[in-house]
Amino acid sequence: DIQMTQSPSSLSASVGDRVTITCRASQSISTYLNWYQQKPGKAPKLLIYGASNLQSGVPSRFSGSGSGTDFTLTISSLQPEDFATYYCQQSYSTLWTFGQGTKVEIK
């Protein structure tokens, strides 16, 4: 299996901050990397697909970059509704895998 490792596991930030989350794959996955947001008690929501493509309806403050093994999710100006857990997920292999998640908390 391709292992996905996110960092940090959690972070505290304030409204308006720029936030960056990193995801590293155990082997090259081209740009077959997706990002999800999950709020407590809710199903995950697709934010970014193909490393840098914004899913329809997702605010433009979210952006993704990277290729190969290293990827980032950036929130340019954190909003109150962005406090949640974020997961990366690879779709390079027919056996998909998720990262362990990054919880974004209010400072």
Partner 1 sequence: QVQVVQSGAEVKKPGASVKVSCKASGYTFTGYYVHWVRQAPGQGLEWMGWINPNTGGTNYALKFLARVTMTWDTSISTAYMELSRLRSDDTAVYYCATGAAVAVGPIGVDNWGQGTLVTVSS
Residues that bind partner 1 (CB under 8 A): 1, 30-32, 34-36, 38, 43-46, 48-51, 53, 55, 85, 87, 89, 91-101
End-to-end CA distance of the chain: 36
Nearer to partner 1, 79 or 93 (CB): 93
What is the nearest approach in angstroms of partner 1 to the Cβ of residue 22? 16
Nearer Cβ to partner 1, position 49 or 62?
49
Using the minimum distance from each CB to partner 1, give the nearer residue, 83 or 92. Answer: 92
- CA-based torsion, 98, 85, 38, 82: positive or negative: negative
- Which of 91, 51, 49, 46 lies closest to 70, judged by CA? 51
Rounded CA separation 22/1 (Å): 20
CB of 15 to partner 1, least distance (A): 25
